Amino acid sequence: MEETILLVDDDAALLEVMSIVLSSEGYRVITAMDGQEALKEVGREKLDLVILDIMLPKMSGFEVLKKIRESSDVPVVMLTAKSQSVDKVVGLELGADDYITKPFDTKELLARIRAILRRFGRQEGRSRDGTLRLGPLELDPNGYTVTRSGDVLVLTPTEFKILALLMRRPGRAFTRTQISEAVSTASHYLASRYIDVHISRLRAKIERDPKAPEIIQTVPSVGYRAARPRSSATRSA
């Protein structure tokens, strides 16, 4: 099955060149020239990779990335015309998986694409339909459901967002501020000081023993992380 890549850039000439190069390598290519169009494609296509420019009309690449991460675990490579490290840091903190600075060599682009598709194609806990799995937990961002060993769990919207954020990046530590910024919306801002309360309630629902959590781990002086998936854990009930 050919892999599908969404290219998002407002430079029509660049899109055409990249489309030709990727198509010649056997990839199915979809293009979008602004953030709103990109989000529509994410919603209707089963994508294997998104290559996303930071400087876009209507919505910035950062805004698009944040929206993508609310519902999809598709790998995202950011394109930036800037050499400033701040753009790279912001992108990675919002959930980007890699970045490439313009102008770039097509060989480098292809090498990055192959590497990230290999990495995400074999990584445990991810599936093509976006479902996340960790131990006995299964989280469906599209259906907005979480089950443990087949039993449906009732989570609040905030708890669901926090769990999805952590499960998308198992093993990565998030600070309370990063969690707060990731799950907040324009109409509801979650202050970082309340993260501990939500984590405690979430653990009570998903952990076998909330006093000895195995899924959501505390990282001293930093914040929280989801445990790295283990082959034995992912098969356990």
Q: Residue 198 is part of a domain; what is its CATH number? A: 1.10.10.10
Pair 47, 80 in one domain: yes
Q: 157-164 — which CB contacts under 8 Å span 24+ positions?
A: 158/183, 158/190, 158/198, 159/198, 159/201, 159/202, 159/205, 161/70, 162/195, 162/198, 162/199, 162/202, 163/137, 163/139, 163/202, 163/206, 163/216, 164/132, 164/139
Same domain, 111 and 53: yes
In this structure, what CATH number is given to the domain that contains residue 67?
A: 3.40.50.2300
pLDDT of the residue at 123: 47
pTM of this structure: 0.58
Tokens encoding 143: 């259906």
Is 164:140 a contact under the CB 8 Å cutoff? no
Range of the structural domain that residue 151 is part of: 132-226
CA distance 7 to 121: 19
Task: Identify the domain boundary among 120, 142, 168.
Answer: 120
Question: 231 in a domain, yes or no?
Answer: no
Domain count, the chain: 2
Residue 139 to residue 142: CA distance in whole angstroms: 9
Q: Do 108 and 147 lie in a common domain?
A: no
Shared domain for 106 and 15, answered yes or no, is yes
pLDDT in tens, the chain (237 residues): 578 999 999 999 999 999 999 998 889 999 999 999 999 999 888 888 999 998 898 888 989 998 888 777 788 898 887 655 556 666 667 778 888 888 888 888 888 888 888 776 544 455 555 688 888 899 988 788 999 988 999 999 899 989 988 888 888 888 898 888 888 776 677 888 899 999 999 999 999 888 888 899 999 988 999 988 664 333 333
